[in-house]
Amino acid sequence: MFETGTGVGGTWYWNRYPGARFNSESWTYGYSFSQELLDEWNWEEHFAGQPETERYLNYVADKFDLRRDIRLKSRVTAAHYQEETRSWDLTMEDGRRYRTRLLITAAGVLSAATMPRIAGVGTFLGQSCHTHYWPKPVSFQGKRVAVIGTGATGVQTITEVAKTAGHLTVFQRTPQCCAPLHNAKIGKDEMSRIRGNNPEIFARCQETYGCFIHATDPRATHEVTQEEREAFWEKLCGAPGFGIWMGNFRGILVDRAANKLISDFLARKIRQRVKDPAVAEKLIPKNHGFGTRRVPLESGFYEVYNQPDVKPVDISETPIDRITPTGIKTSDCEYEFDLIVYATGFDAITGAFDRIDIRGVGGVSLKDKWRDGPQTFLGILVDGFPNMLMVMGPHAGLGNFPRALEYTADWVTGLIRFAHGRALTRVEATAASAVAWTEHVIESSEGLLFTEVDSWMTGISRNVDGKQVRRIMRYSGGHPAFRKRCDAVTADGYRELTLD
Ligand code: NAP
């Protein structure tokens, strides 16, 4: 196993920016495969912060003696399939080379961070960092800080930085509709109760659309009275986690009128919390409805804008001209800063693949093959790329990741066992199965409002060439349907694959 970082933990190793924490309930996020692990680990918070999660993942690595199989500080730059040997040749950044029969990718959906394409980035003489590459604990005490970006990462960062910065300026291009997280500590007794419920918790996560603990309410928005609707939304807003997004009325992410109602409800909440009405209006999304982009969960984000030392700058009105040696110049003003934080997101889903020169049969590049959008079978296999298996690749369902990826990891393991058991040396998706799955993935998104919105979930990264056009990047049929399809492939003896 190759890992670029100097430690294990993936997302939770890299993203150590201030305020980084789960938006999934901790006790739904841990691994479920080991009863011993479940018995031993006590979550401290319902939504664990990055340090706790990184500790957990290190604990897992130690407990299962995984470190001996992990090569840290090892970036794979190329992976080329060799037909003669039916193997993959890997080249590392430092020139090391490896040969492997099977290539399993687990390079992450949100791991290829992107700096903004703004002139002068790199000329700033103060401290600057992308949230994904957060260096060490950084002090904001008394400093003039800028944050660019207001996605889920920006929202967490801004809330935390505002606590100690001398002055904070937030450069916002698109506001997001956030909802309260309602984090809390977990006491000893509560942890025991949670542990006792583990089987039910994991079973419930398997039943829901996105593997979260929150299941869609079977009622449609218009099936209840206005009073019932508002009472339900008040309840969801007062409850922890993604209930407001994942446990809302059915159809809210499809039905324009229903989406407008919940968007208006949450806009009212923002207006109640932000004292300056002009600022509140700036924080309310106007070009997309609630839940059509990934909903950031927040802990006091809106109140930050009531602080006299926090200034929002709407860069859709006054765009950033350039980063200067002393700060940021917009079309109407020049700002000076000690520290600039780039919370500018990722080249999501296919970005980590694109950064490796992956070549399949006949030297075909995966990046080229996916130029107009990914084509996969089950989000796990790609025709023309034999013996490559993707864990949480494009066209897999997104959601509560560990719950989803445990299934995929087991499915991949099952296929490897099957291949070993029959001395197969070549496993590949057929072109027909990849076309059929890709069509199904596209169909599964039809009618969903998120497909009409620019975001990483629709393959948009304005900071990356060739990623300005919306594409269907993930499976939207829900995890139960995904598992059913994968199980059917297994039950049928993998006849939809080419096995040799
Ligand atoms: P993001 O949602 O893509 O947000 C990036 C932000 O940077 C957006 O506000 C974007 O504006 C802005 N931006 C990008 N390039 C810019 C430029 N050149 N000039 C000005 N602004 C620019 O990225 P993210 O916030 O890192 O979150 C990505 C995903 O990571 C989340 O959606 C979530 O799935 C995951 N995440 C999870 C957690 C958690 O579970 N606890 C926490 C953080 C992140 P536009 O919107 O206008 O493009």
> Which stretch of 130-144, 167-181, 199-213 has the lowest confidence by average pLDDT?
130-144
Return the residue whose CA atom lies nearest to atom 35 of ligand 1. 152
Centre of ligand 1 from the C-alpha of residue 72, in Å: 27
Asked if 377 and 498 touch (Cβ cutoff 8 Å), the reply is no
Alpha-carbon gap, residue 20 to 18, rounded angstroms: 6
Matching residue, tokens 């660019």: 148
For the chain, the average pLDDT equals 97
CATH 3.50.50.60 fits 76-112+351-499, yes or no: yes
Distance 343 CA to ligand 1 centre (A): 6
Q: Distance of CA 145 to CAs 164, 324, 332, 400, Å?
A: 10, 14, 19, 32
Q: How far, in Å, is the centroid of ligand 1 from the Cα of 345?
A: 4
For 289-303, what is each residue's pLDDT tens digit?
999 999 999 999 999
Mark out the alpha helices in 208-294 (DSSP H runs).
226-238, 243-246, 256-273, 277-283
In 131-264, where do the E strands start and end? 144-148, 167-172, 179-180, 217-220, 249-250
CA-angle at 169, arms to 277 and 138, nearest 5°: 135
Nearest residue by C-alpha to atom 28 in ligand 1? 345
pLDDT of 241 > 90? The answer is yes
Is residue 312 within 8 Å of residue 283, measured between CB atoms? yes
Return the residue whose CA atom lies nearest to atom 32 of ligand 1.
294
Neighbours of 141 (CB within 10 A): 9
Q: How far apart are CA 53 and CA 26, in angstroms?
A: 9
Domain boundaries, the chain: 1-74+188-203, 76-112+351-499, 145-187+204-342
**H or E stretch covering 68:** none
What digits encode the pLDDT tens for the residues 111-134? 999 999 999 999 999 999 999 999
Ligand 1 centroid vs 116 CA: distance in angstroms?
11
Ligand 1 site-directed mutation target among 53, 344, 458, most atoms within 8 Å of CB: 344
Residues 6 or more apart whose CB falls under 8 angstroms from that of 76 comprise 2, 90, 91, 92, 93, 356
Which residue out of 12, 25, 110, 468 has the highest number of ligand 1 atoms within 8 Å of its CB and is therefore the one to mutate? 110
Ligand 1 centroid vs 188 CA: distance in angstroms?
35
With b meaning 16 or more CB within 10 Å and e meaning fewer, what string describes 379-408?
Answer: bbbbbbbbbbbbbbbbbbbbbbbbbbbbbb
**427: which residues sit within 8 A by CB, 6+ positions away?**
381, 386, 387, 389, 415, 419, 494, 497, 498, 499
Q: Give residue 397's pLDDT.
A: 82
H helices present in 296-385, as ranges: 301-304, 351-354, 366-369
Rounded distance from Cα 385 to ligand 1 centre (Å): 31
Mean pLDDT, residues 52-63 taken together:
98
Q: What predicted TM-score, i.e. pTM, was given to this entire model? A: 0.97
pLDDT tier, 398 (very low <50, low <70, confident <90, very high otherwise): confident
Q: In ligand 1, which atom is closest to the CA atom of 174?
A: 47
Q: Which atom of ligand 1 is nearest to the CA of 345?
A: 23
pLDDT at 135: 79
Q: Quick one: pLDDT band at residue 151, thresholds 50, 70, 90?
A: very high
CA 24 from centroid of its chain's CA atoms: 11
DSSP E strand stretches across 97-216: 97-100, 103-105, 127-130, 144-148, 167-172, 179-180
From residue 440, give the alpha-carbon distance in Å to each of 197, 211, 433, 475, 484: 35, 20, 10, 8, 14
Give the residue among 420, 372, 432, 409 at the shortest CA–CA distance from 486: 409
| Closest atom, ligand 1, to C-alpha of 316 | 47
How many Cβ atoms are within 10 Å of 15's Cβ, its own excluded?
23
Q: Which of 121, 173, 177 has most ligand 1 atoms within 8 Å of CB, for mutation? A: 173
Q: 113: which DSSP letter?
A: B
* Test site for ligand 1: of 26, 54, 153, 298, most ligand atoms within 8 A of the Cβ: 153
Pocket of ligand 1 (CB under 6 A): 21-23, 110, 116-118, 148-154, 156, 173-174, 294, 315, 343-346, 456, 462-463
Ligand 1: atom nearest CA of 151 is: 25
* Distance in angstroms (rounded) separating the CA atoms of residues 375 and 373: 7
pLDDT score at 389:
98
Q: How far is CA 98 from CA 87, 102, 234, in A?
A: 10, 12, 56
Q: Which residues contact 254 (CB under 8 A, 6 or more apart)?
A: 447, 448, 449
Q: Is the pLDDT of residue 16 over 90?
A: yes
- pLDDT at site 449: 98
Nearest ligand 1 atom, CA 342? 7
Residue 131 in 3-state DSSP? helix
pLDDT of 137: 83
Q: What is the pLDDT of residues 411-470, one digit of tens each?
A: 999 999 999 999 999 999 999 999 999 999 999 999 999 999 999 999 999 999 999 999
Measured in angstroms, how far is the CA atom of residue 235 from the centroid of ligand 1? 27
Q: What are the residues whose beta carbons fall under 8 Å from the beta carbon of 416, sequence distance 6 or more?
A: 102, 389
Which ligand 1 atom is nearest residue 118's CA? Answer: 18
Mean pLDDT of 98-106: 98
**Ligand 1: centre distance to CA 151 (Å):** 4
Percent of the chain whose pLDDT exceeds 90: 98
Q: What are 182's two structure tokens?
A: 């309602």
Q: Are 382 and 394 in contact (CB under 8 A)?
A: no
User: Cβ contacts of residue 246 below 8 Å, gap of 6+?
Assistant: 208, 209, 210, 212, 214, 215, 216
> Exposure pattern of 270-285 as b/e (b: 16+ CB <10 Å)?
beebbeeeebbebbbb
Give the Å distance between the CA of 460 and the centre of ligand 1.
Answer: 11
In one-letter notation, the amino acid at residue 236 is L
Which SS3 state, helix, strand or coil, does residue 270 take? Answer: helix
